[in-house]
Structures are given as structure tokens and as C-alpha cells.
């Protein structure tokens, strides 16, 4: 979620078309990684309960679902057609053939659940379909998990927001900011845990390596004989 953005005012201004554009961009375009995703979907569902004529919940979930599916499909296509060209050049800091081989092996084993889980992880959900295309993940398999992830994310979150709005009722304005804060925290939590765990393992490995290098093997004392 972008700091200082009034999601309620934004959604009411941009409407269904704007929702489609934002969800589509965040799902598969490079520049869409910074856009609000989870909080936007939850807020859209909440507002659908407060403004049923302006934002019918059926239209909201349909628009968000189509945007999520097509956005991921475009990201996959981009990675499939363009991504591999970046690895045909001599190895650079960010594009190494070893990285591509590792991605291919990873998506061969874990690509399905990655596409689904990435939906709920900011930043990751933007690049996951692009990497899947670059790694040549089978499209039928990708499409199946793309649909599954879109149902859980692009339909599940607005419906949850709608149910929450119906439950809160007239006191919606009082709790909306708190609800969004909790949603943002929960969406960022998996990524934060992964980064902390990865960095902790890397730091621990470096400390152990330096510790081994710092050890001086005592020389045997010369014999008096």
C-alpha cells in the first residue's frame, strides 16, 4: 500500500475501470510492483457494501478476477518471449545463466504453489509470473494455478471485505483504517519473515566461515630427540 493514499477516495473516483487497471498492472507489469493490492481489494469489497449501486459486489469481483488472470498471463508471456534474451548475453551482476537454470529447476518442482502463494505477497506477485515465463513453466500448468490464485486473491479478498463491511455497518468509517493496517501487516509479514530468515542464515554462514578461517592450527612442538 502506498503511504498517504486515500484508498476509499481513490476507488470511488476511479471506479471499476480503475480497479481493473491497477490489479492488472500489479499482477504482471514490471512497474506495477509498488501499487496497492491486498488493501485495494479489501477496501473495494468494503465499499461495495456501503455503495452497492456504484460498486456492485458481483461486478467488483468479476473485474478484479479478470484483471488478475489477464495480468499474470501477460507477465508470463513477457517472461517467455523476452526474459530469456536477457540471459543470452554474457553474465552480468543480475542476469546469470546459473540463475536461469536455478529458476527452471525451482519452477519445475514448486512453480504451482509459488504462483498461488505469490498472490498474497507484495512485490513477489508482480514478478512471479514473469519468472515463470522466463523459466519456461508449462503454460497449462501455469494457467491452472493462475486461475486458482486469482480466485483466492482477487475474489476472496473483496468478498471478505464485503462481509466485513456488512458486519460493521454504520461504524465502518471508525474501523476502516485499522482494518487496512491489519491487512497490510499480514500481507507484508510472509515476505518479511523470508527476508529475515534468509539474511540470518547468510550472516550465520559468514560468521562460521570467518571463525574457521580465524582459527590457527597449533604447530607441533619439535621433538627433543
Looking at residue 185, its pLDDT comes to 66
* Residue 223 forms part of a structural domain: no
* Residue 156 forms part of a structural domain: yes
* Residue 217 forms part of a structural domain: no
Domain limits at 121? 9-212
Looking at residue 159, its pLDDT comes to 94
- The verdict on pTM exceeding 0.75 is no
DSSP 153: I
Phi, psi dihedral angles at 48 (to 5 degrees): -65, -30
* Residue 179 forms part of a structural domain: yes
* Residue 134 forms part of a structural domain: yes
Closest CA to 83 of 144, 27, 122, 137: 137
Cα–Cα distance between 172 and 176 in angstroms, integer? Answer: 6
DSSP alpha helices (H): ranges in the chain?
7-28, 38-50, 57-81, 97-118, 124-134, 139-150, 156-168, 172-214
Looking at residue 31, its pLDDT comes to 76
Looking at residue 19, its pLDDT comes to 93
**Domain count of the chain?**
1
Looking at residue 94, its pLDDT comes to 44
* Residue 187 forms part of a structural domain: yes
Closest CA to 63 of 20, 21, 11: 20
Residue ranges of the chain whose pLDDT lies below 70: 1-5, 83-108, 110, 169-176, 179-180, 183-225
Cα–Cα distance between 177 and 1 in angstroms, integer? Answer: 12
Closest CA to 60 of 71, 49, 72, 70: 49
Looking at residue 221, its pLDDT comes to 58
* Residue 96 forms part of a structural domain: yes
* Residue 221 forms part of a structural domain: no
Amino acid at each position: 500500500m502506498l503511504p498517504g493514499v486515500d484508498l476509499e477516495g481513490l476507488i470511488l473516483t476511479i471506479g471499476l475501470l480503475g480497479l481493473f487497471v491497477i490489479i492488472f498492472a500489479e499482477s504482471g507489469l514490471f512497474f506495477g510492483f509498488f501499487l496497492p493490492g491486498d488493501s485495494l481489494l479489501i477496501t473495494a469489497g468494503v465499499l461495495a457494501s456501503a455503495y452497492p449501486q456504484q460498486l456492485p459486489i458481483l461486478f467488483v469481483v468479476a473485474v478484479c478476477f479478470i484483471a488478475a488472470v489477464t495480468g499474470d498471463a501477460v507477465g508470463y508471456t513477457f517472461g517467455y518471449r523476452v526474459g530469456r534474451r536477457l540471459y543470452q548475453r554474457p553474465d552480468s551482476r543480475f542476469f546469470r545463466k546459473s540463475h536461469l537454470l536455478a529458476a527452471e529447476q525451482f519452477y519445475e518442482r514448486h512453480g504451482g504453489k509459488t504462483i498461488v502463494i505469490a498472490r498474497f505477497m507484495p512485490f513477489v506477485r508482480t514478478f512471479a509470473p514473469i519468472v515463470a515465463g522466463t523459466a519456461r513453466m508449462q503454460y497449462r500448468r501455469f494457467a491452472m494455478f493462475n486461475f486458482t490464485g486469482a480466485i483466492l486473491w482477487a475474489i476472496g479478498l473483496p468478498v471478505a471485505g464485503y462481509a466485513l463491511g456488512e458486519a460493521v455497518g454504520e461504524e465502518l468509517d471508525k474501523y476502516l483504517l485499522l482494518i487496512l493496517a491489519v491487512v497490510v501487516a499480514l500481507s507484508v509479514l510472509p515476505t518479511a519473515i523470508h527476508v529475515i530468515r534468509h539474511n540470518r542464515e547468510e550472516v550465520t554462514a559468514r560468521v562460521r566461515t570467518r571463525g574457521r578461517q580465524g582459527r590457527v592450527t597449533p604447530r607441533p612442538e619439535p621433538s627433543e630427540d
